[in-house]
Amino acid sequence: MLSAIAMIWPPVWFLSLHKPWEIMWVNGESMSPLLNTNHSPELPNAPDKILVRRFLTPDSDSEEVPTSQKDFRRGQIVVFEAPHDPSRIAVKRVVGVGGDLITPLPGYPGGDGPQVVPYNHLWVEGDVDNRDKSLDSNWYGPISAALVIGIVTMLLTPWYSPTSIEWKKHKYPAKEQGRVQTNAVQSAMVDPNEAAMDELFQTGWAERLLQSLKAFPERAVENIKASSADRGKYQGYYDRVKRTLESQPAGSRGADISVSQELVDTLEKIFVDAGLNKEGYSPQQLKSMKKDKRKARKSYEEWKKEKEQVVEEIPKDEGPAARQLREMLQQRKKEMDVEEARMLKEHQKRWAFMDEIKKKDNETGKEATAPIMTT
């Protein structure tokens, strides 16, 4: 019987910050001694307050994006939708990521032997080191990274002395007990979709696809026009092969390189013949993406103003109160720097091809494949 679970109360927006930040209340002893150190069933309920950096798209004020294991590090404290009850929100520590081998606490339903954390999953545990006091992966196994809402960055209790969560310095039971073997299973560290595509090249499938497309291009064009699923399938082939080519050193040669380049050229021609641009996007998709790009730029500009405001608020004078406020704001700026870098990386990945199209149009003096690209 679980005597206490560190669960989170309904969140309240931290209105003085950019929307990816939120204050939440944590109740229960599963994250003790870090959170709710003095929790006791016999005492009045006194939850701790934490500051959470939520995962949001860089071009939206409210829409959340799926997270992947690349967003997380062992030792971080995360807030997530409980897999056994999505209506509840829990807070635990990331103990293992995809590819790790975890020895669970005795009583784990899957057995006491080492458990493989699958790709894009996390093994999460409470700090209390007692399976009866923490409903975590020792009960329900690894959780999908997509369930994670955000990362805890600061403890706001007591109110007069906020504390940054320096997770890299934390000691926690699974690590101290040696129950984590990091990067032990290579196959679980790789995106299955990427691995499947690599295997297609190794088995000669890519070359057979190329020959089929060259022999029957009209069939591929008709399939793309008739089915969005087929269009998505061919876009997936194109994106994967294009990334493979771009990752090769300049001047690389070889059979796989030759097949990849010819496959890219063939797919681009098929996309154009199907009324799409060479990357496989329809005029409607490009129009929507142009609108999203404007939102992204606006959101980024607002974010920059918010960070400048934080810097201006950092006090220069001395004294205990000023020092505590300064440390809090400096930590907030550090977190915002990380978020800004993520935004820029995402912007570059999502919009680079659109800038390339516009540049080519300007050089040739012609309209884009879709006139809506003109800005």
- Rounded CA-CA distance 216/237 in Å is 17
pLDDT at 365: 41
pLDDT at position 6 over 70: no
Side chain identity, residue 159: W
Fold of 7-189: Umud Fragment, subunit A (2.10.109)
pLDDT at 193: 66
Q: Please say whether the beta carbons of 17 and 332 come within 8 A.
A: yes
Could you tell me the pLDDT band of residue 218, with boundaries at 50, 70 and 90? very high
Which has the higher per-residue pLDDT, 296 or 272?
A: 272
Backbone angles phi, psi at 154, to 5 degrees: -155, 145
Q: Whole-number mean pLDDT of the chain?
A: 75
pLDDT at 285: 78
- Rounded CA-CA distance 91/77 in Å is 7
Could you tell me the pLDDT band of residue 136, with boundaries at 50, 70 and 90? very high
pLDDT at 16: 35
First to last CA, the chain: 62
How would you label 270-280 residue by residue, b for 16+ Cβ within 10 Å and e otherwise? bbeebebbbbb
- Rounded CA-CA distance 81/90 in Å is 6
Q: Cα separations (Å) of 121 from 57, 107, 167?
A: 20, 21, 19
pLDDT at 359: 52
Average pLDDT over residues 234-252: 75
Q: Cα separations (Å) of 315 from 147, 290, 320, 324?
A: 38, 41, 12, 10
Backbone angles phi, psi at 13, to 5 degrees: -65, 135
